[in-house]
Structure 1
Amino acid sequence: MNHDADQRLVKAVQTGDEVAVAQALAGGADPNAEENGYQGSVLIGAARSGRLGVVGLLVDAGARIGPFGHFHVTPLRVAMLEAHTDVVQYLISHGALQAESATRMSILTEAMSCTRHRPRPAALATLRVLLEAGATPHPDEETPLIAAVMQPVAPAVLRLLLTNGADVNQQRSDGTPAIVIAARRGDHAAVDVLLQAGAAVDALDRQGRTALMHAVERNEQRVIAALLLAGAAIDSVSADGMTARKLARGWQRQHVQFMLGENSAGLDDVPITRTVVRIPPTDVRLCGDPQMLHLLASVIDIVLDDLGDDEWATRTGADAGTARAVAAQLRTEVVPAPNASWYQLDVTADELAALRSALVELAYGTTRVLPAPTSRLEIVDLLEELNRQLGR
């Protein structure tokens, strides 16, 4: 062991000095020298820093490409995590893929996760290199397409997987098709990518339910629209006798009923077999700036003044007294949030419903007066933002 040469090598690798690296190796430095107990070998350090020239010198000198230390860290994995695509490509060409440890998550699955947690062009390019090199998941992992839909990842990643041979009708290990998983998650972008790639729009899960049935149950209206535009069957019957129409009626999803082609919809008491649990809120915290919260109070006051208590109750189904109470709270009981810059107000589910009803009336009803200087389109925007947060 040549300790002095090893130290010169470590320093040269850390600074990226290729000449000094070559000199240290020629002087007897160990190409497997450790940077320190935490960082790993000098090759791992060079790969982490993306120093391709240094990586080449170390590999040519016999540096170990396989796992290092207790955590089985490899140069290939650290280069992948930092999205050094050229280093990844070089290491793969020298057998690094075959040297990966089977005790950790597969490098392919982890690379796919990186496109979500550290999204950047180089992460996508690195994933492409791994796919083209034939990287595969471990036997106990889901296929790349299923894992991607479950995370979920960006549409660009799905397209890359499909371009590289992923089966668009791939099923999860429990038999659930990818398009059903995407629909259940409300991922309309993934649903659209899968459909464009030729996924079977009416593929069934083990309960005989389609993606449309699951989307209807979860009120995922953008997913429903994508599926219907792709020709999803509305009247397919699941093993337990459910159809998309029955599920929409049973959950009282009136807008969805119209989307499914019904000409009228009410609050029918229709027994269905449910595969999802809904959690109605018992109280809600409204957060924002005082002027925005005061604007909501004005919306309620304007609609109440225009409709009167009786018409308000008829049109909204909400109590006028509840609406007035929440308007008063929005003006007088808004308080600064602790350890934050916004203001907040706790309201009940009924009070939130009254607020939403006022926004609906002002956005689409007969009331023509608007809070100055707000436009009707701004009220529509407020309503849509609230609906998205409520999952409507």
Structure 2
Amino acid sequence: MDRDAQLVAAVRAADPAAVAKALADGADPDSAASRFTVTVLSEAVSRGRVEIARLLLDAGASLRARMPRYQSPLLSAVTNGHLDVIRLLVDRGALDVEGTDRGSLLAAAIAATRHRPRAAALEVLRYLLELGADAAPDEETPIVQAVLGSAAPATIRMLLSHGADPNARRSDGTPALILAARRGDHAAVDVLLTAGADPNAVDGDGHTALMHAIERNEQAVSTALMLAGADDAGALEMARGWQRQRFQFHLGEMSVGLDDVPIARTAVRLHPTGYELRGDAADLRRWGQLLACATQALGDDDWDARTGTPYELAHTVAHRLIDEPAKSPTASWHCIELTTAELATVRQALVELAYAVRVTLPDGLGQEYVHDALDELDAQLP
């Protein structure tokens, strides 16, 4: 076995003595098991091997990622929640060579509190915040990242305690409170309200968090907002328009019925008794346009291979969503019935547009609309 292979084996065996010997014998401190793998330093820090990391750094191991598509040693340590290793890397100058091509360290730390929820992950986040870490220029603000990522209340409180603005807005102008309300995240709503978020802040459509909560039938969220003093000026009309009778009682009506009240909706709802999409005709038409956009971008062969749903069916559903939604005979919304396979094509189109293909979206729609639509559809699927 050559010296570099001995070093790789020693690192993987978590044997500091063997690592020291391999390095003394002339092994390359930037060795990798193959050209397709990370360096031994990245492997050591991902496992929290601080003593081995120190030996490799003393021998001149690079603090940079081996290839652009790989995580740097520091980002790997943050992702895996190893605070002692992070401190060592920072002391050796890792912050000075860290790039943002793969996203910021702070974004990785916020995500880690959800994907690997340990006390250590929260301490890593605290440490980075104390160092002054912030979002990369092309990222949303940290508090918006946390809300969009369904971060735990402890994560949101940590960000707020280090100066995050509870009234921060997403790049499209939507307040973090409304993002949390739309997602039904009553814990995040409560934390933001407690920190001073404005319960009556509006988005680009002039809708408040309470109006969004009522549209999406989010009882716990609406209760938190009303207890915080949210204005019900537009909320009652929203409740009437969606025939949310329980909310109408909460908002002070003494008697309610199945009102047919026209409103400007922001949600497309999946009726629980079947795959019937309900919403404004304009939104249903936008969903059809998005589906058509995705199928056109991929073409028939790629669509079939990537989504597992037939291209011709997707093409048909796109036209149905654009042309066929009909006004309900008992309410002001429009609706269209879809089969399981048809609904699957809609979801696959949203997934492709959100995470894979990059095309010009119709009607000036942004990626935020696509992600919001996908999140809300997924939340309603059985």
Instruction: Confirm or deny a common fold (TM above 0.5).
Output: yes
Matched residue, 2:284: none
Q: Offset at 1:269?
A: 1.7
Q: 1:191 to 1:82 in 2, by over 3 A?
A: same
Matched residue, 1:94: 92
Q: Offset at 1:45?
A: 1.6
Please state if 1:260 is matched with 2:258: no
- Would you say the 8 A contact 2:48–2:85 is kept in 1? yes
User: 1:146 aligns to what SS in structure 2?
Assistant: helix
Please state if 1:69 is matched with 2:67: yes
Matched residue, 2:262: 271
Q: Which amino acid aligns with 1:209?
A: H
Matched residue, 2:81: 83
Q: CA RMSD in A?
A: 2.2
CA-to-aligned-CA distance 1:176-218 (integer Å, 9 cap, x gap): 1111111111111100000111111111212222111111222
Q: Which amino acid aligns with 1:219?
A: N
User: 2:33 aligns to what SS in structure 1?
Assistant: strand
- Would you say the 8 A contact 1:67–1:101 is kept in 2? no
Note the residue ranges of structure 2 that are not aligned, 5 or more in a row: 276-378
- Would you say the 8 A contact 2:80–2:112 is kept in 1? no
Matched residue, 2:167: 169
Paired with 1:279 and 1:262, the residues of 2 have a C-alpha distance of 26
Of 155-164 and 118-127, more deviation after overlay is shown by 118-127
Q: Offset at 1:41?
A: 1.2
User: 1:34 aligns to what SS in structure 2?
Assistant: coil
Paired with 1:91 and 1:8, the residues of 2 have a C-alpha distance of 24
Q: Offset at 1:254?
A: 0.8
Matched residue, 1:55: 53
CA-to-aligned-CA distance 1:125-176 (integer Å, 9 cap, x gap): 2222222222222211111110111121111111111112111110111111
Paired with 1:209 and 1:271, the residues of 2 have a C-alpha distance of 15
Q: Which amino acid aligns with 2:188?
A: A
CA-to-aligned-CA distance 1:253-290 (integer Å, 9 cap, x gap): 11001111222211122222222122224548xxxxxx
Paired with 2:77 and 2:66, the residues of 1 have a C-alpha distance of 14
Note the residue ranges of structure 1 that are not aligned, 5 or more in a row: 236-242, 285-388
Q: Which amino acid aligns with 2:205?
A: Q
Identity %: 54
Matched residue, 1:186: 184
Q: 1:70 to 1:282 in 2, by over 3 A?
A: same
Q: Which amino acid aligns with 2:240?
A: R
Paired with 2:173 and 2:31, the residues of 1 have a C-alpha distance of 48
Q: Structure 2 matches for 1:1-392, cutoff 5 A? A: 4-235=2-233, 243-283=234-274
Q: Offset at 1:70?
A: 4.8
Matched residue, 2:362: none
User: 1:32 aligns to what SS in structure 2?
Assistant: coil
Q: Offset at 1:58?
A: 1.1
| Structure 1: 4+ residue segments shifted above 6 A | none
Paired with 2:205 and 2:230, the residues of 1 have a C-alpha distance of 17
Paired with 1:209 and 1:50, the residues of 2 have a C-alpha distance of 47
- Would you say the 8 A contact 1:258–1:264 is kept in 2? yes
User: 1:128 aligns to what SS in structure 2?
Assistant: helix
Paired with 1:275 and 1:49, the residues of 2 have a C-alpha distance of 45
Paired with 1:69 and 1:275, the residues of 2 have a C-alpha distance of 43
Paired with 1:76 and 1:390, the residues of 2 have a C-alpha distance of 38
TM-score by length of 1: 0.67
Question: Who wins on radius of gyration, i.e. which is larger?
Answer: 1
TM-score by length of 2: 0.68
Q: Which amino acid aligns with 1:180?
A: I
Paired with 1:189 and 1:280, the residues of 2 have a C-alpha distance of 26
